[in-house]
Amino acid sequence: MHQPSATEQAASILLARRLNAQKGEVLAAHCRPTDNQSAFAIQQAVTQLWCEQCKDSVGAWKCLQPIEGNWVVAPIFTSTIDTIAPVSLWPDNNVARIEPELAFYFAHALPVRAEPYLPAEIDAAIGRTHMALELIYNRYVPTAPIHHFDKLADGLVNQGLYVGPQVDAELAKQASNIDITLSYADQIQPYSAKHPNVIPRAPLYWLVEFLRQQGIGIEAGQAAITGSYAGVFDAPIACDMTIKYAGLGEMHVHFKAKTQ
């Protein structure tokens, strides 16, 4: 009889939390990730289980350049990507937690190969760019003493993605700073926003090379988001809202709470 490995045990626990929006403590010491490699192995095991159980696929990736040596990379599942409001999500403390980003769509695949891809090759593979909101849900209880590897194993608090209108690719490519405005009801909240890696496509170049080294290719039609311009902010549930990226465009969105 097969005895589950520590990685498989961790993945099973994290999958159950993801499926049911459960919050839990850090994993038991014997299966808790302690470095990038063990955390990514658990993340990939969760991905395999999710895709098998939900008959799903990886529709996008979230990424940033490593922070103090810590990998910032996680899959976003196709079934959790929305392009039409209302958008269903798991609320956290009765609000939608979102991150304003740009989504870069690959028109051409970048399969695994022996040599690294040049930035120009990656640029040439990008077909279009969209405004996007990453949907956030922390599946650890607030009091859990989590570290980066706990979050990396669990997909870096991602629960999905809302993809808004297409924007001018050249303007987006250079959009290091964007004034963002969130408006709803009689509320107007401005954010003076900056890309965490300055160059919005910089994390893409890291992502493609990182995945190549793991034996994972980019598929045509997949997207990548490359970091929030304004961290995480809270938005109301069941309310029409407009989010403007100055000089790029605006998107209209409405969130509704999932019940199961």
Residue 105 belongs to domain with CATH number: 3.90.850.10
Q: Give the residue from 101, 121, 106 showing the smallest Cα distance to 60.
A: 106
Helix ranges (H only) for the chain are: 6-20, 36-54, 119-125, 148-153, 169-173, 202-213
Q: 241 lies in a domain?
A: yes
Q: Give the residue from 84, 191, 182, 96 showing the smallest Cα distance to 135.
A: 96
* C-alpha triplet 173, 114, 118: angle, nearest 5°: 20
**pLDDT band at residue 260, thresholds of 50, 70 and 90?**
low
* Token couple for 84: 């039409």
Containing structural domain, residue 141: 57-257
pTM here?
Answer: 0.95
CA distance linking residue 81 with residue 215, whole number of Å: 24
Residues 207 and 63 sit within 8 Å (Cβ to Cβ) = yes
Please give the pLDDT value at position 192: 84
Q: For the chain, what is the domain count?
A: 1
In this predicted model, what pLDDT tens digit does every residue of 192-212 receive, in sequence order? 889 999 999 999 999 999 999
**φ, ψ for residue 236, nearest 5 deg:** -75, 155
Q: 156 lies in a domain?
A: yes
**pLDDT band at residue 1, thresholds of 50, 70 and 90?**
low
**pLDDT band at residue 3, thresholds of 50, 70 and 90?**
confident
In this predicted model, what pLDDT tens digit does every residue of 27-81 receive, in sequence order? 999 999 999 999 999 999 999 999 999 999 999 999 999 999 999 999 999 999 9
Residues 47 and 161 sit within 8 Å (Cβ to Cβ) = no
* Token couple for 218: 């980019």
The overall average pLDDT reported for the chain is 95
* Token couple for 229: 């311009």
Please give the pLDDT value at position 9: 96
* Token couple for 54: 């939900």
* Token couple for 212: 């190549």
Looking at the DSSP bridge assignments, the partners of residue 166 are 130
The DSSP call for residue 43 is: H
Count the alpha carbons within 13 Å of 163 in the hemisphere toward its beta carbon: 22
CA distance linking residue 87 with residue 247, whole number of Å: 25
Q: 193 lies in a domain?
A: yes
* Token couple for 95: 């609000």
Q: 27 lies in a domain?
A: no
Q: 243 lies in a domain?
A: yes
Q: 107 lies in a domain?
A: yes
The number of residues making up the chain comes to 260
Helix (H, G, I), strand (E, B) or coil at 142: coil
Is the C-alpha dihedral spanning 128, 129, 130, 132 positive or negative? positive
Helix (H, G, I), strand (E, B) or coil at 202: helix
In this predicted model, what pLDDT tens digit does every residue of 109-155 receive, in sequence order? 999 999 999 999 999 999 999 999 999 999 999 999 999 999 999 99
Residues near 89 by beta carbon (within 8 Å), at least 6 away in sequence: 96, 135, 137, 159, 160, 255, 256, 257, 258
Q: Give the residue from 64, 42, 45 showing the smallest Cα distance to 53.
A: 45
Helix (H, G, I), strand (E, B) or coil at 51: helix
* Token couple for 210: 């990182």
